[in-house]
Structure 1
């Protein structure tokens, strides 16, 4: 997950979320996810590249991607990725890069961590990621707002 570890959450006055508040929040996320999935599918329909859904709820341009052999916990991987919005505008000038990251011990967006389990060494894949699997309701507190789906170009080095 890409959320900041020190992000403060503040319960409402009274200290706890009511069942109703939790239900409102759940429904909001469900509706947002459904809307984003429809928007991403519409975007895919206008692309020359074919994209395939994965079990975790993002898409990739590699067919059968998450059916491959899975990398094990504690194995090492070096990777980099660039982030784009759905206007295909690059968000950061420099890619995010990690060298010899150990599975089970690094903190990454859910979709990126999942994709790294299946990517082959030297391979580059494009991920289409709903906001819930990217930076969610908080954004990255820099250039990425809350509830923004992303295009991630991920490369295993």
Structure 2
């Protein structure tokens, strides 16, 4: 038992020499660090928006910008009444990259969730507020509204804009 403890201790000590030190969650960043982060985010968003607009030009269907910084292929979505928080909805969506390759084989399915009481991708939450039962839509979402700078720690890498095909049922 003593040998296992010593072996574990030496492994932890030897591994810690190669780790990078990062500020703790909630730690403070300098004004310069905040400005660098803000400029990076702004530049990334501008580049992704330009790429998405270029992608839209090559499509047969039209896409319409939403106030939240994503596009949708339903013009009437902009005119639909917004469901109130607390309304129960069920929906599913598939995720694609902009090469239109499906990222996960199975859709993300949410059943009987209450609007305003659950957390999903911001663009998905927003679209679900306007889609009626049985409606489908395609969302074009910059990475900042998708999985951001961290990805989903699985198949979605950091800073990846997504195509989201959603259906409310």
2:151 paired residue number: 139
- How far off is 1:54 after superposition? 0.6
Of Structure 1 and Structure 2, the greater helix share is in: 2
In 2, Cα distance between equivalents of 1:11 and 1:46: 43
Q: What aligned pairs does 1:6-155 form with structure 2 within 5 A after superposition?
A: 10-11=22-23, 15-155=27-167
1:4 paired residue number: none
Secondary structure of 2:127's aligned partner: helix
Secondary structure of 2:139's aligned partner: strand
Could you list the runs of 5+ residues in structure 2 that have no partner in the other structure?
1-21
- Asked if the contact 1:54–1:65 (Cα under 8 Å) also holds between the matched residues in 2, the reply is no
- How far off is 1:154 after superposition? 0.3
Q: Which is bigger in relative contact order (C-alpha 8 A, separation at least 6)?
A: 1
Q: How high is the TM-score relative to the length of structure 2?
A: 0.84
Secondary structure of 1:155's aligned partner: strand
Q: Deviations over 1:97-154 (max 9, x none)?
A: 0110111111100000000001111000000000000000110111000100000000
Alignment length (residue pairs):
146
Which aligned segments of 4 or more residues in structure 1 are displaced greater than 6 angstroms? none
Q: Do structure 1's residue 156 and structure 2's residue 134 form an aligned pair? A: no
- Structure exhibiting the larger radius of gyration computed from Cα positions: 2
Over aligned residues, Cα RMSD in angstroms? 1.1
Q: How high is the TM-score relative to the length of structure 1?
A: 0.90
- How far off is 1:11 after superposition? 1.7
